[in-house]
């Protein structure tokens, strides 16, 4: 499949048109940003590692009936994907308090939640992705009630599958962010990526952070954290 013009450049990925109007090529970059673009940097080979880690999770979830936008992995950084009508929501699932939740509610980072918490944010860089609730989503027609029910059900199922799997790799899934889109038939499909860029992964024993917080908080050994996640999931040593 041939890459045509770039139709969208995000912070970590570029989407290219193809000769098929229903298909795009997603290219994974090494660029890293934090604080809605306030901090910029590069994480060596991040694009390659995030592509592989995302595919690993997408395959794991597909076996449990969760559909995703991938058609075919083309190479280390390029994936052929279905063009979806993206629901403009960031769906955050939290198992343990960290990051903005810890700050907002005055909780110590690492405090377990007694049940998974779903947060919704309106995907809008200019507004800084503000948190919204079900009423905002419905009133602003960001998604229908049926779509939101489906998104939340899929998000909770994904969380359960990932938490259980990651436990076997000595990784705690603290929180993560998902995005969904509608396919041509209006079906809700998992999109975007699942990687250390949009998940918080802590070593179960040492509680060492193995995710993008190492970049956001200048903790050092950023590449090593991504490599460690890839190694624990796939056995691949980079």
Which residues are near ligand C5P by CB under 6 A? 90, 92, 98-101, 129, 175-177, 198-200, 212
Helices 222-234, 46-62: axis angle to 10 degrees equals 30
**How many Å apart are CA 80 and CA 25, to the nearest integer?**
5
Decide whether 83 or 212 has the Cβ nearer to ligand C5P: 212
Q: How far is the CB of 5 from ligand C5P (least distance, A)?
A: 26
Decide whether 19 or 174 has the Cβ nearer to ligand C5P: 174
- Sequence-ordered alpha helix ranges (H) in 64-195: 99-105, 134-139, 145-167
**How many Å apart are CA 189 and CA 93, to the nearest integer?**
17
Q: How far is the CB of 115 from ligand C5P (least distance, A)?
A: 17
Q: How far is the CB of 104 from ligand C5P (least distance, A)?
A: 9
For residue 119, give both structure tokens.
Answer: 């947060």
Decide whether 41 or 186 has the Cβ nearer to ligand C5P: 41
Contact 12, 40 (CB under 8 A): no
- Residue, CB closest to ligand C5P: 99
- Identify the burial level of 238 via C-beta atoms within 10 angstroms of its C-beta, where 0-12 means exposed, 13-18 middle and 19 or more buried: middle
Contact 54, 46 (CB under 8 A): no
Q: How far is the CB of 90 from ligand C5P (least distance, A)?
A: 6
Burial 147-169 (b: 16+ CB within 10 A, else e): bbeebeebbeebbebbeebbeee
Q: How far is the CB of 139 from ligand C5P (least distance, A)?
A: 22
Decide whether 20 or 124 has the Cβ nearer to ligand C5P: 124
What is the largest distance, in Å, between two alpha-carbon atoms of the chain? 51
The half-sphere exposure of 214 on its side-chain side, counting CA atoms within 13 A, is 21
Q: How far is the CB of 120 from ligand C5P (least distance, A)?
A: 12
Decide whether 16 or 176 has the Cβ nearer to ligand C5P: 176
Contact 61, 123 (CB under 8 A): no
Decide whether 23 or 33 has the Cβ nearer to ligand C5P: 33
Residue matched to tokens 């860089």:
125
């Amino acid at each position: 499949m041939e890459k045509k013009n770039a139709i969208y450049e995000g912070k970590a990925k570029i989407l290219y048109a193809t000769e098929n109007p229903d298909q795009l090529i997603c290219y994974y970059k090494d660029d890293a940003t934090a604080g809605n673009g306030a901090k910029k940097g590069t994480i060596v080979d991040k694009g390659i590692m995030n592509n592989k880690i995302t595919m690993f999770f997408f395959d794991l979830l597909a076996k449990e009936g969760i559909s995703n936008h991938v058609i075919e992995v083309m190479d280390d950084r390029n994936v052929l994907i279905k063009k979806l009508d993206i629901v403009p929501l960031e769906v955050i699932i939290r198992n343990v308090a960290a990051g903005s939740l810890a700050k907002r509610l005055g909780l110590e980072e690492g405090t377990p939640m007694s049940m998974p918490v779903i947060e919704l944010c309106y995907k809008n860089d200019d507004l800084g992705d503000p948190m919204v609730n079900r009423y905002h989503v419905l009133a602003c027609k960001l998604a229908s009630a049926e779509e939101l029910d489906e998104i939340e059900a899929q998000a909770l199922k994904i969380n359960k599958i990932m938490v259980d799997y990651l436990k076997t790799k000595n990784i705690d899934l603290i929180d993560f962010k998902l995005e969904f889109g509608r396919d041509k038939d209006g079906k809700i499909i998992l999109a975007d990526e699942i990687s250390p860029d949009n998940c918080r992964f802590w070593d179960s024993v040492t509680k060492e952070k193995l995710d993008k917080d190492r970049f956001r908080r200048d903790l050092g050994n950023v590449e090593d954290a991504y490599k460690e996640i890839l190694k624990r999931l796939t056995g691949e040593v980079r």
